[in-house]
Chain A
Amino acid sequence: MNTALALSLGIFFLLGVPIAVAIGLASVIGIEAHGRLPLLLVAQRMFTGLDSFPLMAIPLFILAGNLMSVGGISQRLVDLAKAIVGGVQGGLAATCVLTCMMFASVSGSSVATTFAIGAILIPAMVKHGYPKPMAASVQASSAELGVLIPPSIPLILYGVSTDTSIGQLFLAGLGPGLLVAGALMALVLILCRVRGIGAKDGDERPRLGPAALAALPAMLVPVAILGGIYTGVFTPTEASAAAVAVALVVGMLFYRELKFRDLPDVLTKTVLATSAIMLIISAAALFSFLVTRSGLPNDIAALIRAVIETRFVFLLAVNILLLVVGMFIETSAAILVLAPILAPIAIAYGVDPVHFGLIMVLNLALGMITPPLGVNLFAACSVANIPVERIIPQLLWFVITVFAALMIVTYVPAVSLWPMQTIMGL
């Protein structure tokens, strides 16, 4: 059955069958190849895979993010970031990184971050003489912060599929998020200096005081979400509902940029994005059930333990595996299928499951800026209006930088675990 599953999945992916359908159809073939399993499993597992309250946080965070990008929050965050870091050469690129970091704390998705921030900053960078492919690659790589800094959809999925606390995962995302943000900011400042780009970025810099005041209501959202989760007042799903409510209030009453007539558009976007990703989650639940039932995870675990002796080598092997997977497979599907297999093995090697979640998500986030399936690249290129081929030569330094951060996150557990240990005393 496993050969049938893997082989058909690979073929369907290459044919360009939508990922959710490819996973579902490969499962059907797997069931048929097994012979003694009922096809009824297809409907049953796809249903139960979605029927979980923690998963409901995903559509609600997507909705909250979409409400906030229409409601004038993105522009306030851009202004605030520009006031803080915009004064130096390459300040606009640094602004992009910092804005994405702030927006990531209200959005759980990197593609949403690309659209919301890129729509403002890519044209601004191009106007200041940045080559379009460079502006797009700055945006695509900064948007990765969307899945590292809480709330984060991939971290919710990891938590659901491995029974790890989503609240702790969210807390653990802060350190790696700040690390990647810092590394990217250093990189863009160096690149701009070396290439002589963005010398006049400081010209239209807003003053810090007014910018901070204007952004204050926008920053209420992450404070409400994260404060609520960390103090244990909210579950992540409740926090996502609260985020929707706060986004509506801030957009409609404070900034008054969100109007009732915008709502159909926001809801349509949310439904389209939600359905596409939740169908993948649903199909992956079916696939993952079949894989687990076949006993493959135990076989893989036994094989790994026989071949690999130390934690160091295990983590290296996992990183290589996930990097390759991340290039070709969509993040949610990869987490739902691989996390239940890999996390128990990681625990056996003495890796903390929360730390391991961050390793997985950062790895797959790197896959979002590597071809052929780099969702951030597609999004950034669509905003910048350039074909994807033109951005690829620009990516090298960004990929190297994120990779270096990934190595630090992998081998220095404290980067992920210190907030949890100090705040929660775990």
Chain B
Amino acid sequence: MKRATSLFLRIETITTRIALWAAIAFLVIAAALAMYQVTTRFAFGQPSTWSEVITRSAMIWSVFLGVAPAFREGTMIALEFIQTALPRKLGLALYQLSMVLTLIFFAILFWQGWAMTERVTGQTLAALQISIAWVYAALPIGSVFIALAVMGCMIRAARGDWPRPDGDEPAPAEAQP
């Protein structure tokens, strides 16, 4: 059992890192295209029609891939005061419960995201000959990475590595309004 979970954690480390790098790549694409769009509007007097569509699509991919590393790094924002106020064992139980609920949600998002992706395969993105399904696929694929990362959080917490919000771990959320 111990070996199985250790193996899982090693795999999860890799998948979450893949998700992070892919999310970064999409962010860079989105930012670069947004700058390109501004430039074309000023240099040629008319904005390029395709760059806005791809900016939005790349950003959607970046968001759904970035959630997995956000879970791993503890930057998801939650109301943790009850978990913190309870004795450690009870707080941990509550944390695991919240993670189970999270898993259920992303299972639903995977299922419905997949259904939606299949449904829109016939539709193309405005101004492009590309199917919208390529963008919708971010939901089910992102959900798989997220589910793995959430299970990783649960295993680490069960092994005693639970970053309690009031503990020595620095507080999460780097840039949030």
Contacts and interface: CB of A to CB of B under 8 A. Distances in A.
Interface in A354-391: 371-373, 375, 378-379, 381-382, 387-388
A13 to B, nearest CB: 5
Contact of A18 (B24, B76, B135): B76
Given A20-B76, A40-B116, A271 B62 contact: yes
A411 interface: no
A238 B20 CA distance: 25
Interface residues of A, number: 83
Contacts of B56: 50-53, 56
A19 B78 CA distance: 5
B59 interface: yes
Interface in B1-43: 20, 23-24, 27-28, 30-31, 34-35, 37-38, 41
Contacts of A270: 27, 175
Nearest to B66: A275
A109 B177 contact: yes
Interface stretch (A253-261, A299-307, A314-322, A324-332): A324-332
Nearest to A240: B34
B24, B27, B170, most chain A CB atoms within 10 A = B27
A22 B109 CA distance: 13
A413 B108 CA distance: 45
Nearest to B83: A16
A375 B77 contact: yes
Interface in A45-84: 46-47, 50-53, 55-56, 59-60, 62-63, 65-66
B94 interface: yes
Interface string B94-135: 110110011011101100110110010000000000000001
A292 interface: no
A163 B79 CA distance: 30
Nearest to A44: B116
Given A269-B175, A276-B75, A279-B63, A15 B166 contact: no
B174 interface: yes
A394 B171 CA distance: 19
Nearest to B28: A267
Interface of B: 20, 23-24, 27-28, 30-31, 34-35, 37-38, 41, 52, 55-56, 59-60, 62-67, 69-71, 73, 75-83, 94-95, 97-98, 101-102, 104-106, 108-109, 112-113, 115-116, 119, 135-136, 139, 165-166, 170-177
15 contacts: A18-B78, A19-B76, A19-B79, A22-B78, A28-B105, A39-B112, A154-B177, A238-B34, A267-B27, A269-B175, A271-B66, A271-B70, A276-B70, A280-B77, A382-B171
Interface of A: 12-22, 24-25, 28, 39-40, 42-44, 46-47, 50-53, 55-56, 59-60, 62-63, 65-66, 107-112, 115, 146-147, 152-154, 234, 237-238, 240-242, 244-245, 264, 267-280, 282, 328, 330-332, 371-373, 375, 378-379, 381-382, 387-388
